[in-house]
Amino acid sequence: MVVARERARRRAPEESHRFEEILRAAAELFYEKGYHATTMQDVADRVGMLKGSLYYYIDSKEDLLYITLDHVIKKGDDYFLQKVASARDPIEKLRRAIEAEIEYVIRDQVTVGLFLHEFDTLSERRRRRILARMRRFQDRYIEIIREGQAAGVFRELDPRLAVYGILGMCNWVYRWYRPDLGFTLEQITTVFTNLILEGIVKRDSTASNVLRRAKGTVKARSLVRR
């Protein structure tokens, strides 16, 4: 059987654009109605095409879910790498990593929510593939924690457990965030990063100085934006 992602690589640009439309429509429907309650006819109606035409792009409804959830991890990982690339020390790296996660969750609220709710719907084989990618993503955070511990600026705690806590806190934003609540993205990232860093950074003078510099960077950026 040909995998839909492999088909996408051989498509003309206009066909790839159409496939992205189909993925977005399916993600919205899965999020709104639930995966099991959504039919291929629903997806076809949303994008304005015949149901049979969808099978030019994919072999099954699960293909749509799998590709969408796989993209969630890949795009989140790419954004993480982009944000952290120029950071010079573990505290700054962790701060930027937290900001990246919250920004991505809010920007892609539908697909992130879909990932957290419908992941278990996938076949075991496909779950294993995504879990492997997810572990690689989590390992990037773990490496930052270990780097900070080796440098003597982070507390001695289990790095993986700390990362589970950090990602759980950040990812749950998708459940409550709405623009009409009145919280800006900057407010959310500032409060969350301060909470996490205050809990993980050691309170000795050297580490505290680095943390103060990191907070100063956040404040300076805030003033520039105003």
Instruction: Dump pLDDT digits (tens) for 36-79.
Output: 999 999 999 999 999 999 999 999 999 999 999 999 999 999 99
- The 10s digit of each residue's pLDDT in 170-179 is 999 999 999 9
- Domain 65-225 fold: Tetracycline Repressor; domain 2 (1.10.357)
Q: Does domain 1-59 have CATH number 1.10.10.60?
A: yes
Sign (positive or negative) of CA dihedral 32, 34, 35, 38: negative
Q: Under a CB-based contact definition with an 8 Å cutoff, are residues 84 and 93 in contact? A: yes
**Alpha-carbon distance 38 to 30, whole Å?**
6
Q: Under a CB-based contact definition with an 8 Å cutoff, are residues 186 and 222 in contact? A: yes
State both tokens at 131: 């879990």
Q: Which candidate, 27, 31, 106, 34, places its Cα nearest to that of 71?
A: 27
Q: Which candidate, 226, 223, 221, 197, places its Cα nearest to that of 91?
A: 197
User: What is the structure's pLDDT at 14?
Assistant: 54
Q: Where are the domains of the chain?
A: 1-59, 65-225
Residue 99 backbone phi and psi in degrees, to 5: -60, -45
